[in-house]
Amino acid sequence: MKSVFEVQKTIREILLKILDNHSLEQLNKIPEGFSNNLIWNIAHCVSSQQVLIYKLSGLTSKVSEEFINKYRKGTKPEGFVSQDEVDEIRKLLSTTLEQVQQDFAAGIFQNYTEYTTSMGYVLKNVEGALEFNNYHEGIHTGIIMSIRKFV
């Protein structure tokens, strides 16, 4: 599983660089032809990781329910994200990665509720969820790379 966490760390570092290299206005801009923006995609990665790993394992997520509900699958940007919230998202990119690594090493993921992704792939355990999460974050990183060309 070490490589799974290394891949996620690399993705999260890319997302942090996006935050560092774009203004608040750029992070919030929804370009023509897109349904979301840079900051929504970044926060969505955090929200989805928490649902896929913790909630489907029957555990309490490490972010608020409000955060999960704001950025979960099927949502879209509902207003301008403040600098304070961007700072929170920046912090969560690192802390949620570190926490899931610690929790996995501690063996807290004992149960898992099977979940069929929108792609039809069935997640059967936390290991599969961790692997799929990297795929999911990779997709959104690609979307982010497209959006940043238009902001």
pLDDT of residue 6: 97
> Residue 87 and residue 90: Cα distance in Å, rounded?
5
Q: Which segments of 21-63 does DSSP mark as H helices, in order?
A: 24-28, 38-49
Region for residue 34 given its phi and psi (left: phi exceeds 0; alpha: psi -120 to 50; beta: otherwise): beta
* Tokens describing residue 95: 């802390």
Q: How confident is the model at residue 22 (pLDDT cuts 50, 70, 90)?
A: very high
The per-residue pLDDT of the chain, averaged, comes to 97
pTM of the model: 0.96
Q: Bridge partners of 14?
A: none
- Rounded (5°) CA angle 27-12-99: 120
pLDDT of residue 1: 76
Residue indicated by tokens 């509900």: 69
- Cα Rg of the chain, angstroms: 15
Q: What is the pLDDT of residues 70-125, one digit of tens each?
A: 999 999 999 999 999 999 999 999 999 999 999 999 999 999 999 999 989 999 99
Going by their DSSP bridges, the two strands 115-116 and 122-123 should be labelled as: antiparallel
Q: How confident is the model at residue 5 (pLDDT cuts 50, 70, 90)?
A: very high
pLDDT of residue 81: 97
